[in-house]
A and B are shown apart, each in its own frame.
Chain A
Amino acid sequence: MSNDILILLLIGLFAGTMGAILGLGGGIIITPIVTLALGLEIKYAIGASIIAVIATSSGATIAFLKDDVLNLRVAMFLEIATTIGAIAGAILTGVINSGFLYVLFGSLLVFSSWNMLRKLRAGQEVLQLTHPDKIATRFKLNDSYYDKNLKAKIDYQVEHIPTGLSIMFGAGLASGMLGIGSGAFKVMALDNAMKMPLKPASATSNLMMGVTAAASATVYFFNGSIRPDIAVPLALGILVGATIGSRIMQLLPSKIIRAVFIPVLLYLGLQMILKGTGVL
Chain B
Amino acid sequence: MEKKKPTLALEMKEIELTIGKIMRVGVVLAAVFMLVGMGLFFINKGSGYPGATFPTTLTLIFQGTLHFKAYAYMMAGIFFLILTPVLRVIVSIYAFWKEKDFLYVYITSAVLFILIISYLIGHH
Contact = CB atoms under 8 A, between A and B. Distances in A.
Does B bind A?
A: yes
Interface of A: 5, 51, 54-55, 57-59, 61-62, 65-66, 68, 70, 72-73, 76-77, 79-80, 83-84, 86-87, 90-91, 139-140, 143-144, 207, 210-211, 213-219, 221-224, 226-229, 231-233, 235-236, 239
Interface of B: 8-9, 12-13, 15-17, 19-20, 23-24, 26-27, 30-31, 34-35, 37-38, 47, 54, 56-57, 71, 74-75, 77-79, 81-86, 88-89, 92, 103-104, 107-108, 110-111, 114-115, 117-119, 121-123
Given A68-B16, A80-B114, A233-B38, A215 B119 contact: yes
Given A58-B85, A62-B24, A65-B19, A214 B115 contact: yes
Given A76-B111, A232-B74, A210 B84 contact: yes
Given A218-B119, A218-B122, A79 B111 contact: yes
A83 B34 contact: no
Nearest to A61: B23
B78 A51 contact: yes
A270 B35 CA distance: 38
Contacts of B122: 90, 215-216, 218-219
A175 B17 CA distance: 29
Contacts, number: 150
B54 A214 contact: no
Given A83-B111, A236-B34, 16 more contacts: A51-B81, A58-B23, A65-B17, A66-B20, A68-B16, A76-B107, A84-B114, A139-B103, A140-B103, A143-B9, A214-B115, A217-B82, A219-B123, A227-B54, A231-B78, A235-B78
Given A65-B23, A215-B119, A72 B16 contact: yes
Given A66-B20, A72-B12, A239-B27, A221 B104 contact: no
Given A65-B20, A87-B117, A214-B115, A55 B123 contact: no
B84 A58 contact: yes
B79 to A, nearest CB: 6
B84 A228 contact: no
A3 to B, nearest CB: 14
A222 B85 contact: no
Contact of B35 (A68, A91, A213, A236): A236
A128 to B, nearest CB: 15
B56 A211 contact: no
B119 to A, nearest CB: 6
Contact of B111 (A5, A87, A211): A211
User: Which secondary structure dominates chain A's binding surface?
Assistant: helix
A227 B118 CA distance: 23
B113 to A, nearest CB: 9
A210 B85 contact: yes
The 7 closest A-B pairs by CB, nearest first: A65-B20, A210-B85, A228-B74, A219-B122, A83-B114, A214-B85, A215-B118
A89 B95 CA distance: 31
B76 to A, nearest CB: 10
Given A215-B115, A232-B34, A233-B38, A222 B56 contact: yes
Contact of B118 (A86, A226, A231): A86
Contacts of B84: 54, 58, 210, 214
Contacts of A65: 16-17, 19-20, 23
B107 A77 contact: yes
Nearest to A89: B118
A17 to B, nearest CB: 16
Contact of A232 (B38, B108, B117, B123): B38
A143 B83 CA distance: 28
Given A65-B19, A68-B13, A90-B121, A235 B111 contact: no
